[in-house]
Amino acid sequence: MAVDLEAMFQQEAFRRLAPEKLATFRKFATQIDGKSGPELMGVVMQFSKELSKGGAITKEERNAIIQAIGVCMAPADQPKFKNIIKMINMLEG
């Protein structure tokens, strides 16, 4: 996915996160690059597990983060991003 990671992590939604949560998001952002299908699902599952260790993010934090990611993402990558969000939602039940 073509995302300006530094611009994304400068968004208010990310600046408000606790440092350990921010580190988990940074790791996830670099790991999903170029992944698809089962490989991507594995990364998403690991991300969900790691994020829960530091305490869950609030729904408000989550929505703000999703919006911040979208602002920094190339339009051509939007469908892949939406699929990742769907996978995360499925994992959460």
* pLDDT tens-digit map of 1-58: 566 778 888 888 888 888 888 888 888 888 877 776 677 778 777 877 777 776 677 7
Q: Where are the domains of the chain?
A: 5-92
Output the pLDDT for position 16: 85
- CA 9 to chain CA centroid, Å, is 11
Write out the two tokens for 79.
């469908």
pLDDT tier at 71 (50, 70, 90 boundaries)?
low
Return the residue matching tokens 């690991």. 46
pLDDT at residue 84 tops 70:
yes
Q: What is the DSSP letter of 53?
A: H
pTM over 0.85: no
